[in-house]
Amino acid sequence: MYGSGINTLNVYLYNSTALGIPIWTHFGNQGNTWYHTKIDIQGYSTYHIMFEGVRGNGIMGDIAVDDISVLEGSCPACHDKVDLVYLVDSSGSVGSINFNKEKEFINNSLSQFVIGHNDALVGVVTFSTVPREQFKLNAFLDKAALKYAITKIPYLTGNTHTAEAINFVNNHMFIPSAGDRPDAQNVLVVLTDGQSGDHAKTLQEANRLKQRTTVIIAVGIGSGASKSELNGLVSDPSYVFFVNDFDALKQIHDTVHSVACNLGTCADAIPDCNRFGPNACTAFKGWATINCAHYCGFCHANTATTHRPPPVTTILKTLPPPTTTTATTTSSCVDVIPNCKQYGPTVCLGTYKPWASRNCAYYCKLCYALTAVVPIVGK
């Protein structure tokens, strides 16, 4: 950037659906020398990088870009306070070799978590015909010991009884005596290569767990994994992942880690998310989930909303009088629990609608705007 007519050099991340997110900008004459800089891009999506030179008032200037390198960096450590349980399929269809790949996936997905009383705690349950607790949430405060214990988990074969396994997690893992903390976000990661023996009961047990504000993430492996079942298990459609085989697990451990980490304390990783605009939340969702979770509304922490809904009106059924007028009452429409968004829009429908009308009326738009008809006596 050399010359009196220099204006601005901008660097953007962009794709076909967005104009671009500005990630670096510099203005004015920098002299006849190279200006070195480094830009950190956090995320797991595919990005295009665009360089934009903005012309100044004259022709005396030149912008040159050279020696662009893209380096793989280390992910930032995750200090979120989460109680994280892995529910691992050890049924007969998995096999001992693939079971070891599941354990490797767990250890890889834990690589950036900080383990401790004020950070993440991890427990593991394996399941086949019966669920088996391998260790509780409060078993390990040292990451090296935790990862070693995971490598030693035995493979015990059987059928795929997912419902019983989720019930076990609900009753034996996310409890205070097992290390569950009231101020930590509960997260369950389910790994399976098959369909449960009782689809309806599995979804019922999953919904019981989600009603306790536990977030469920699911990983389906191979063609035997039921997409409809796993989509019904998870707390959000973006929390289900499918891979073709056990070898492909190594391709998604960073993504699963990113989702699980961002379920804890809700904050933006950068201070100026608003300058990117709401379009960045959808066009660059992977980047935005990590950097602008609070701004984009991707947070699932147990924090109450600060927005108060408007009043609604109520019908007073009366016989039509000679003269009437309309009045509005002010009964408040609010969500009884603070994290309705965590359950997703499907909780507002079907068999869950009565529960939603009591607990998530505002989120589910079950607050009906109604009018009161009030009689007025006289001319």
pLDDT of amino acid 40: 61
Q: What is the mean pLDDT of residues 147-158?
A: 94
Q: What does the DSSP 8-state code read for residue 173?
A: I
State the Cα–Cα distance between residues 116 and 214, nearest whole angstrom.
20
State the Cα–Cα distance between residues 29 and 38, nearest whole angstrom.
19
Does the structure show a pLDDT above 80 at 294?
no
Output 115 or 314, whichever has higher pLDDT. Answer: 115
For 209, list phi and psi in degrees, rounded to 5: -70, -40
82-261 topology per CATH: Rossmann fold (3.40.50)
In the block, tokens 């927005």 appear at: 307
Output 276 or 229, whichever has higher pLDDT. Answer: 229
Q: Residue 216's pLDDT band (boundaries 50, 70, 90)?
A: very high
Of all residues in the chain, what percent carry a pLDDT higher than 70? 64
pLDDT of amino acid 218: 94
Question: Where are the domains positioned within the chain?
Answer: 82-261, 304-379
State the Cα–Cα distance between residues 241 and 220, nearest whole angstrom.
6
Q: What is the mean pLDDT of residues 248-277?
A: 78
Q: Give pLDDT tens digits for 19-57.
A: 566 667 766 666 666 666 666 665 545 667 777 777 666
SS3 of residue 9 by DSSP: strand
- Tokens representing 209? 């767990």
- CA 36 to chain CA centroid, nearest Å: 35
Q: Give pLDDT tens digits for 98-125.
A: 999 999 999 998 988 889 888 899 999 9
pLDDT of amino acid 311: 29
Question: 332 to each of 213, 309, 310, 329, 373, how far by Cα in Å?
Answer: 24, 7, 7, 9, 19
| Strand extents, DSSP E, 183-287 | 185-192, 215-221, 240-243
Q: Residue 170's pLDDT band (boundaries 50, 70, 90)?
A: very high
* End-to-end CA, the chain: 81
pLDDT of amino acid 257: 83
Q: What is the mean pLDDT of residues 143-163?
A: 94
Residues 82, 264 contacting (CB under 8 angstroms):
yes
Largest pairwise CA distance in the chain: 89
Task: Report the run of H or E that residue 162 belongs to, with start and end.
Answer: helix 162-168
SS3 labels along 298-318: CCCCCCCCCCCCCCECCCCCC
State the Cα–Cα distance between residues 107 and 109, nearest whole angstrom.
6
Residues 1, 63 contacting (CB under 8 angstroms):
yes
Mean pLDDT score of the chain? 76
pLDDT of amino acid 369: 36
* 22: Cβ contacts below 8 Å, ≥ 6 apart: 10, 11, 12, 275, 276
Output 311 or 377, whichever has higher pLDDT. Answer: 377
Q: Residue 370's pLDDT band (boundaries 50, 70, 90)?
A: very low
Q: Residue 59's pLDDT band (boundaries 50, 70, 90)?
A: low
pLDDT of amino acid 285: 73
pLDDT of amino acid 26: 66
Neighbours of 272 (CB within 10 A): 9
Neighbours of 213 (CB within 10 A): 18
pLDDT of amino acid 60: 64
pLDDT of amino acid 378: 38
pLDDT of amino acid 149: 94
pLDDT of amino acid 300: 43
State the Cα–Cα distance between residues 19 and 367, nearest whole angstrom.
38
Pairing of strands 82-89, 185-192: parallel
State the amino acid at position 312 in one-letter form.
Answer: V
Residues 372, 328 contacting (CB under 8 angstroms):
yes
Q: Residue 304's pLDDT band (boundaries 50, 70, 90)?
A: very low
